[in-house]
Amino acid sequence: MGYVPVEERLRILGEQLFHTSGVSTWCFGTGFEFFASTSSIEDDLLDILEKNGCLAYVRKRGFASCSRPVFYRDFLGLCWFIEGLYDRNNEGKQFPRLLLLVGPMLESRISSEELDSRLRSRPGIDSGSISRLKNELKTIPVVHRELMDQYGVLLHYMLTEEGIHPWDFIYPEESLSLPQEPEALPDRTREARQILQEEEVLGAIRDGNEHYLQVAESGRLSRLIDTGNSLRDEKDSLIAFTVLCFRAAVEGGVSSAGARQAQADMLARIEACPDTEAVGRMTHTMLKTCTDLVRARRDEEGVSPIVRTSCDYIRANAKRPITVADVAAAVGYTEYYFTKKFYKETGVRLKDYIKKTRVELAKIALTVTGDSVEEISASLQFGNRNYFSRVFREETGMTPMEYRQKRNFQGERKNDGHQ
């Protein structure tokens, strides 16, 4: 298939998103003049776009702030992706041509009472608009966060023909909290101290040390989002900070493949937290995971790039039924030669390294999820519970259930029966 003009790619994207999931696409000019959308409630959502800070973000920051997908959550809980389309002149200089939006989407349906409260909290929305919007916003599609991320990846590809990962998205501070009255703004000293705490944590992750534990104990790490839904707000705060932490891990030497898989798992666990206490525990788990990834990478620095690549491959695919032969093939070697090379450089047999990696993932699952031992065993390709328990005991000195009890996991847990 030959080259497809970007306008045609965007038209196809718009039609596919609208007809498969009900998600709309929007097009604006560089002067923020509205061109077109696929929305069935275009006029009302245009009004929201003028009042929710979404377009104001681009006006304030400029088109350059949208060179990657911007994930924006507005005061109604509606989620949008924003990105600019650029052209190049004869001298190769980039200049903006269009502004594209994908949305709105909801991560979960909100109650009529909550929606009414959010609408009435905003100046400039009259009672007639509130009544109309309450009905029309019921048609906004609910989309799982992982699927939203794929829409952002797809938007960037359609605009640039370049691949991107969700941790490369931009998460503007404007989308993380509701605008407040001047007297309700946070104290600047406290805010500055909080920013310093976050930077110390990110620095600790880049270094692969455990200094983050001291910082984490001194206060909340991420800025609070305040929409009135405490659980949703805690999750969104941690999600935003998690993206920064995994980016810091990549800056600390962790491969993109390894970080991508670990981040996807962590975001799913955050989303599954049943209450704010579980979100708090997940904060420490996320920080430890990022730091451990960097430390493991530093431990591997004495080995060849091929062996490091194989370790990254194992971490990224530990939940799949990979074999020693698969790992060797992934780095372009025969099984016989590579197993000898791996053992010579690491002092660990390749098949044992696969088991160790899976046990590390099992320890996290036992700590932060309510999955049964059988479910964890199956998800990590151990085959059966007895074999999993035996391998786990060899690595940790205790059974999976003993480890879980020692970690004192407080969430709702399925019945595991015997150890």
pLDDT tens digit string along 208-259? 765 455 444 444 454 444 556 778 888 888 888 888 889 889 888 888 888 8
Is the distance from CB of 129 to CB of 47 less than 8 angstroms? yes
pLDDT tens digit string along 36-47? 888 888 877 887
Instruction: Pick the more confident residue, 116 or 405.
Output: 405
Q: Which residues contact 275 (CB under 8 A, 6 or more apart)?
A: 231
Exposure string for 169-188, b = 16+ CB within 10 A, e = fewer:
bbbbebbbbeeeeeeeeeee
Interval 363-373 mean pLDDT: 76
pLDDT of residue 350: 93
Interval 44-55 mean pLDDT: 78
Place of tokens 């009472």: 113
Is the distance from CB of 220 to CB of 214 less than 8 angstroms? no
pLDDT tens digit string along 305-338? 788 788 878 877 888 888 999 999 988 899 999 9
- Which residues lie across from 101 on neighbouring strands? 26, 82
Whose CA is closest to 247, among 260, 234, 265, 238?
A: 260
Residue 163 confidence (pLDDT) above 70: yes
Q: Which residues contact 6 (CB under 8 A, 6 or more apart)?
A: 85, 158, 159
pLDDT of residue 180: 38
Backbone angles phi, psi at 165, to 5 degrees: -115, 155
With cut-offs at 50, 70 and 90, classify the pLDDT of residue 341: very high
End-to-end Cα, the chain, rounded Å = 57
Whose CA is closest to 390, among 412, 413, 408, 373?
A: 373
Is the distance from CB of 208 to CB of 252 less than 8 angstroms? yes
